[in-house]
Homo-oligomer: A and B are copies of this chain.
Amino acid sequence: MSLLSLVLTLRPRRAAELPSALGRAAHAALLAAIGRVDPALAQRLHDEAGPRPFTCSSLLGMRAAGAVQPDLTYTLRYTALTAELADLLAGLFPPGEAEVELDHVAFTVEVAASTAEAHPWAGRTTYEALAARWLLAQERPEAQISLHLASPTAFKVGGKAQPFPLPELVFGSLLEKWNAYAPLAFPEETRRFAAECLGVSRFELGTHAAPFKGEGVVKFGAVGTVTYAALNRDRYWLSLIHVLAEFAQFAGVGAGTALGMGQCRALTPPAPSPKPFAGAQDDRTSG
């Protein structure tokens, strides 16, 4: 196993007000948990530059007036992109025993889901299995690919934060992480295929604030769904795009994925057709 998506069900020990932005706290809690088992690895993960071999969600779940309540449970998701980290993460939060502290509030881990059966965002696989599913498939890959951007997603382009999930940015980001950690790299031309041969066929997206207190350029991102359509149905390139789309569940997309941004998952089947244009220009339109 080299790819793991672990979904934790958490219960707070006490009622407490917490900021909505807890991506940085979730990141710190992961490194703290790793540090208790392997301090050298935690230090290395803290220090190293470039794409991170893990992602973190913010704390997920409904809160009234910002407060968490001990009679409710909440969700936190961590993913690992290397065998070393995936093996460690799988046992890092034993349910009933582990505790996660977010912004000085302690949560008990009640469930640690690591399979799709246990939670739709959880999963475990390998790079080889992900690639084989598409590259060795009999049938022609679907021309449409839909992604659910579940937390704010943005890209750094020319010093700017860019929240529109252009195909070359989404699949370029996934390609970069794939090639950083997978045993078999994909061609750099995959990005060019995305740029030239994938169109954006529909979307429903809005901007939300980033799930961490922003310093630097990324303070917000897009949340919603987007569907890409291949204008060129070349089987090889389209299969690579499908592999990368499935990889998104583990890798996240774009900037800040280690701080709660870019939580992403391929949707099957594709999102429904675009609505017909309703036609009302504004309130003054009669009818």
Q: Measuring CB to CB, which residues of chain A are less than 8 angstroms from any residue of chain B? A: 9, 20-21, 57-63, 72-75, 77, 119-121, 148, 150-152, 158, 160-164, 166, 196, 199-211, 220, 222-224, 231, 263, 274-282, 284-287
Interface core residue of A152, A161, A209, A287 (most chain B CB under 10 Å): A287
On chain B, the residues within 8 Å of A284 by CB distance are 75, 119-121
Interface core residue of A74, A200, A275, A285 (most chain B CB under 10 Å): A285
Least CB distance from A274 to B in Å reads 5
On chain B, the residues within 8 Å of A151 by CB distance are 277, 279, 281
B277 pairs with A210, CB closer than 8 A? yes
**Copies held by the complex:** 2
A279 pairs with B20, CB closer than 8 A? yes
- Bound-state CA distance A59–B85 (Å) is 58
On chain B, the residues within 8 Å of A199 by CB distance are 160-162
- Bound-state CA distance A20–B278 (Å) is 8
A274 pairs with B203, CB closer than 8 A? no
A163 pairs with B203, CB closer than 8 A? yes
CB-CB under 8 A for A223 and B277, given A120-B282, A203-B205, A285-B75: yes
27 pairs, A vs B, C-beta closer than 8 Å: A9-B286, A21-B277, A60-B285, A60-B287, A61-B280, A62-B280, A62-B287, A73-B286, A77-B281, A120-B284, A121-B281, A148-B282, A150-B282, A160-B231, A162-B199, A163-B202, A164-B166, A202-B220, A203-B206, A204-B205, A205-B205, A208-B274, A208-B278, A209-B274, A209-B277, A210-B277, A223-B277
